[in-house]
Structure 1
Amino acid sequence: MDIIQECFNNIGRSDINKNSKNLLSDGIIDSMDVISLVSEIEKYYKKSLNSKFIKAEAFENFESIAKMISKAMV
């Protein structure tokens, strides 16, 4: 979860934390935030994130992001 927080901090969204829910569905983050977040994840893991993992439901909260990363970056 620390990696996810670091990624949010790096895109200027330190207002988002592990307790934040419904990030996309409530409009807390938008598509540009998702693109920036994907870029940060790719930088951290030094690996491209396959587009099949980039789905709205994967960016709703820290838990869903962590699940997506565990599937995509292993």
Structure 2
Amino acid sequence: MQTIKQLFINIGRTDINESMQNLVSDDIIDSIDIMALVAEIERFYKAPLSAEFIVSENFENFTKISAMLKKAYGQA
């Protein structure tokens, strides 16, 4: 989960933490934040994130982001 926290820090969202839920549903993050996260994820893993994973449901909380990363890259 520290990796995910660092990804948020890298995009300037130091206000996001792992206890937060419904990041997208409650408008805590928006599509611009998601795209910035995708860019950071791709930079971190040095590989593109498949478009099939770039859906708002995968960015609702740290648990869902972690699960997405495991599916996409085999790790989190």
Give yes or no for TM over 0.5: yes
> Which stretches in structure 1 are left out of the alignment for 5+ residues?
none
**Cα RMSD (Å):** 0.5
State the match for 1:17 in structure 2. 17
Percent identical residues? 51
> Which stretches in structure 2 are left out of the alignment for 5+ residues?
none
Note the alpha carbon deviations across 1:20-43, whole angstroms, 9 max, x for none. 110000000000000000110111
The whole-number CA distance in structure 2 between the counterparts of 1:70 and 1:20 is 20
Query: 1:30-49, aligned counterparts within 5 Å?
Result: 30-49=30-49
The runs of 4+ residues in structure 1 deviating greater than 2 Å are: none
Q: How many residues align?
A: 74
Q: What's the TM-score once normalised by structure 2's chain length? A: 0.95
Q: What's the TM-score once normalised by structure 1's chain length? A: 0.97
State the match for 1:55 in structure 2. 55
